[in-house]
């Protein structure tokens, strides 16, 4: 059975530099890292020492709260360094990779013949558990929880996002195995969210799951929107979310008995010469993707993920654990724009009709915009009303919820639906905000506070 959801609210930001549907080869790098900073709220404990030999699938880090959850090495080689930041915060465990990858072997099994507990154990041991996230709180799933349903993100509507139909091509068997594994983890339904058009056929043909078709602008692809429409999270309930691209890893584990995290990553953005898809593994040194493919002289912003909700990363940093997209933008710190606030700015995009982009886009729907990382205004109190509402397609009053989060009113947050949202759902609100409020940060902090107050793990 397929549920149809039409979304009117939202915003597509048409940026330059979408990845061309061709495979490019990353230049060779021996450096890979597992970065605990990719996992919000993780209390990491390193279980290897510098110089230890590791295989692809050997645990490098565990979660102190849930020691059964491993964070494993994506490659085989030698632990090169353990990088710590301020207050000895663990940033990266860096592995120098061998030229040929050796894999830790796991038993090949059919997840449909396993119990939920066995699937959990298999995923946690192989380091794949962190791919399952949870609502509320948008964190790595608590393995002890009983989710009422699991949502699979089957497309990405964010600016410059990878095309799932292209990335998942030829992975039908792995995806089906991955979905079968998910069905063992919940007593409820597994929902696969698909776009109205150009869905990945590998997902469309999947069995044992229900489908949700979402039509409309970004954030239609965010699982949060589907959850809100199909099976909203009430206080005390849990829903898990998984990205369809990561199901391939689940499938490889059960079908082939190895942890092979090879994936296609879209390198995109206005600052990239030749945007394309790179076959690589999470944790790869970013320079292997971008070297020689971006401007050298001007300051650039490297982002693990999309420009709206991705994480900033330095050029000598590493590809994030969850990311199938790397975006490179012009930083814009070298731009001095005279009287920009009153100029027509015909080449700049805005959701506000004080600019002409709404007219120009009607005439030229394929027009693409450059965008740099300037905030383009000072932070103010919330002045304009109804702005967030226009880009927030859930049955939630976004402005009220954000206000409750700002003043840390837990009771109001709960009443207004904080359990149903993740910071990424507010990325567009933050983008359009005239007062330049850091909405995602506000929501993240509110979720952390709520979790601490509720005393949950």
Partner 1 sequence: MLDKIKPTFSEGGRLSMLRSVFDGFETFLFVPNTTSKSGTHIHDSVDSKRVMFWVVLALVPAMLMGMYNTGYQHYLVTGQSVGFFQTFFWGLLAVLPCIIVSYVVGLTIEFAVAQAKGEEIHEGFLVSGLLIPLIMPVNTPLWMVAVATAFSVVFVKEIFGGTGFNVLNVALGARIFLFFSYPSKMSGDSVWIAVRDYFGFGKAQATVDTFTGATPLGQAAASVGADSMTLTNAVGDPLSWWDMFLGLIPGSIGETSTLAIVLGGLFLICTGVASWKIVVSVFGGGAIMALILNAFAVNPYMAMPFWEHWCLGGFAFGAFFMATDPVTAARTEAGKWIYGLLIGMLAILYRVINPAYPEGMMLAILLMNIFAKLIDYCVVQRNIKKRMKRAQVAIKK
233 φ/ψ angles, rounded to the nearest 5 degrees:
-85, 120
CB nearer to partner 1: pick between 29 and 434 = 434
How far from 25 is each of 22, 93, 96, 200, 264, CA to CA, in Å?
10, 25, 19, 23, 10
Burial 328-356 (b: 16+ CB within 10 A, else e): bbbbbeeeeeeeeeeeebeebbbbeeebe
Supply the minimum distance, in Å, between the C-beta of residue 309 and partner 1.
7
Q: Which two tokens stand for residue 21?
A: 């549907």
Q: Can you spell out the DSSP letters for 126-184?
A: TT-GGG-EEETTTEE--TT---SEEEEE----STT---HHHHTTT-HHHHHHHHHHHHT
Angle at 28 between CA 25 and CA 32, to 5 degrees: 110
Burial of 373 (0-12, 13-18, 19+ CB in 10 A): middle
Q: Is the dihedral of CA 427, 432, 433, 438 positive or negative?
A: positive
CB nearer to partner 1: pick between 196 and 298 = 298
Supply the minimum distance, in Å, between the C-beta of residue 57 and partner 1.
33
CB nearer to partner 1: pick between 113 and 411 = 411
Supply the minimum distance, in Å, between the C-beta of residue 357 and partner 1.
8
Supply the minimum distance, in Å, between the C-beta of residue 238 and partner 1.
12
Q: Which residues contact 394 (CB under 8 A, 6 or more apart)?
A: 224, 225, 228, 229, 417, 420, 421, 425
Supply the minimum distance, in Å, between the C-beta of residue 403 and partner 1.
9
Taking the C-alpha atoms of residue 219 and residue 158, their distance in angstroms, rounded to an integer, is 7
CB nearer to partner 1: pick between 131 and 349 = 349
Supply the minimum distance, in Å, between the C-beta of residue 420 and partner 1.
9
CB nearer to partner 1: pick between 1 and 338 = 338
CB nearer to partner 1: pick between 342 and 363 = 342
Supply the minimum distance, in Å, between the C-beta of residue 77 and partner 1.
32
CB nearer to partner 1: pick between 208 and 235 = 235
Supply the minimum distance, in Å, between the C-beta of residue 379 and partner 1.
8
CB nearer to partner 1: pick between 173 and 364 = 364
Secondary structure, 3-state, 84-141: ECHHHCEEEEEEEECCCCCECCCCCCCHHHCCHHHHHHHHHHCCCHHHCEEECCCEEC
């Amino acid at each position: 059975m397929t549920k149809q959801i039409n979304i009117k609210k939202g915003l597509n930001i048409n940026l330059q530099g979408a990845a061309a549907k061709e495979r490019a080869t990353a230049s060779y790098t021996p450096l890979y890292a597992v970065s605990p900073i990719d996992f919000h709220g993780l209390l990491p404990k390193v279980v290897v020492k510098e110089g230890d030999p590791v295989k692809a699938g050997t645990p490098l880090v565990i979660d102190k709260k849930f020691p059964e959850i491993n964070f494993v090495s994506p490659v085989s080689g030698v632990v090169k360094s353990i990088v710590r930041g301020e207050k000895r915060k663990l940033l990266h465990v860096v592995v120098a990779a061998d030229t040929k990858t050796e894999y830790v072997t796991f038993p090949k099994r059919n997840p449909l013949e396993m119990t939920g507990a066995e699937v959990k154990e298999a995923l946690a041991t192989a380091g794949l558990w962190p791919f399952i996230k949870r609502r509320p709180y948008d964190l790595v799933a608590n393995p002890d929880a009983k989710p009422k349903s699991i949502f699979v993100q089957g497309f990405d509507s964010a600016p410059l996002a990878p095309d799932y139909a292209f990335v998942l091509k030829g992975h039908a068997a792995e995806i089906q195995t991955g979905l079968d594994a998910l069905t063992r983890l919940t007593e409820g339904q597994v929902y696969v969210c698909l776009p109205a058009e150009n869905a990945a056929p590998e997902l469309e043909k999947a069995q044992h799951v229900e489908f949700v078709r979402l039509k409309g602008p970004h954030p239609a692809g965010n699982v949060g929107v589907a959850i809100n429409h199909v099976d909203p999270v009430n206080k005390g309930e849990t829903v898990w979310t998984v990205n369809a691209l990561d199901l391939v890893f689940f499938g490889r584990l059960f079908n082939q008995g190895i942890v092979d995290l090879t994936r296609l990553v879209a390198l995109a953005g206005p600052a990239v010469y030749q945007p394309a898809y790179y076959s690589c593994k999470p944790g790869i040194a970013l320079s292997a993707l971008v070297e020689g493919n971006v401007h050298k002289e001007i300051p650039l912003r490297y982002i693990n993920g999309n420009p709206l909700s991705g994480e900033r990363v330095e050029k000598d940093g590493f590809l994030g654990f969850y990311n199938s997209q790397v975006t490179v933008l012009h930083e814009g710190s070298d731009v001095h724009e005279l009287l920009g606030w009153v100029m027509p700015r015909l080449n700049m995009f805005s959701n506000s009709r004080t600019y002409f982009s709404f007219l120009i886009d009607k005439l030229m729907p394929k027009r693409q915009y450059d965008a740099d990382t300037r905030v383009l205004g000072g932070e103010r109190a919330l002045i304009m009303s109804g702005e967030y509402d226009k880009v927030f397609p859930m049955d939630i009053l976004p402005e009220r919820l954000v206000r409750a989060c700002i003043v840390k009113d837990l009771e109001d947050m709960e009443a207004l639906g904080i359990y149903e949202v993740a910071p990424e759902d507010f990325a567009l609100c933050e983008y359009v905000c005239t007062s330049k409020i850091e909405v995602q940060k506000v929501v993240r902090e509110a979720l952390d506070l709520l979790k601490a107050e509720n005393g949950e793990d």
